[in-house]
C-alpha cells in the first residue's frame, strides 16, 4: 500500500475490535450498559480493588469496563472523544432515548437530530454515568429535525 509519505505495512483487513472504558463504579456501569444496549457479561474479574467486565453481543466482545478511575470524564483532555453505536432504524434510536430518559441520562440535544444539515443519518447524544460521551444513531430517518450545529458535524462538539 502506498501513501503520500511512502509505503506502509498496513494490514489488508482492519476493523475496530472492542472499546475499553475506565469507570468509577463497575456495578453502576454494568447496569447502565446492559439495560441500554443489551450487553451480556462475557467475563468479570478483579485484582484487589480493581475490577473489570467484558461485555458482548451475540458472542462478540464489544466493550470492556475497567473500574480504576476517579472523577468524571474530562472532555477538555486528549483521549476518547465519544463512542458511537449504530442501529438499523430511527425507531430503535427513539426506544433507546426513552430508556435513557427513564434512567435520568443527560442529553446534549433534545431528541433525535441529524448528523449535519441535510443529513438523513443521526441519532441521540448523551453521557453515561461517568460522563463519557455516547451516541446511538441510525443511517436514516433523522432528517425530520434541524441540525443543532449547522454546518459543523453534530457529533463533533457536544
Per-residue pLDDT, 157: 83
Q: Look up the pTM and report it.
A: 0.90
Per-residue pLDDT, 1: 53
Q: What is the dihedral of CA 121, 124, 130, 133, to 10 degrees?
A: 30
Q: C-alpha grid cell for residue 50?
A: 480493581
Per-residue pLDDT, 40: 97
Per-residue pLDDT, 29: 98
Per-residue pLDDT, 72: 87
Per-residue pLDDT, 3: 58
Distances (CA, A) of 129 to 12, 14, 113, 122: 37, 31, 22, 22
Ranges of residues in the chain whose predicted pLDDT is under 50? none
d(CA 26, CA 52): 7
Per-residue pLDDT, 6: 67
Per-residue pLDDT, 2: 53
d(CA 141, CA 125): 16
Amino acid at each position: 500500500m502506498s501513501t503520500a509519505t511512502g509505503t506502509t505495512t498496513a494490514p489488508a483487513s482492519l476493523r475496530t475490535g472492542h472499546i475499553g472504558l475506565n469507570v468509577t463504579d463497575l456495578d453502576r456501569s454494568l447496569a447502565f450498559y446492559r439495560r441500554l444496549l443489551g450487553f451480556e457479561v462475557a467475563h468479570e474479574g478483579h485484582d484487589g480493588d480493581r475490577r473489570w467486565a467484558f461485555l458482548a453481543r451475540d458472542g462478540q466482545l464489544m466493550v470492556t469496563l475497567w473500574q480504576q478511575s476517579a472523577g468524571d470524564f474530562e472532555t477538555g483532555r486528549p483521549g476518547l472523544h465519544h463512542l458511537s453505536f449504530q442501529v438499523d432504524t430511527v425507531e430503535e434510536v427513539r426506544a433507546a432515548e426513552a430508556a435513557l430518559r427513564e434512567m435520568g441520562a443527560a442529553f446534549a440535544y433534545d431528541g433525535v437530530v441529524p448528523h449535519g444539515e441535510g443529513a438523513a443519518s443521526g441519532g441521540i447524544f448523551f453521557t453515561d454515568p461517568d460522563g463519557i460521551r455516547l451516541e446511538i444513531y441510525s443511517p436514516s430517518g433523522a432528517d425530520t429535525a434541524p441540525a443543532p450545529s449547522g454546518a459543523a458535524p453534530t457529533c463533533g462538539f457536544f
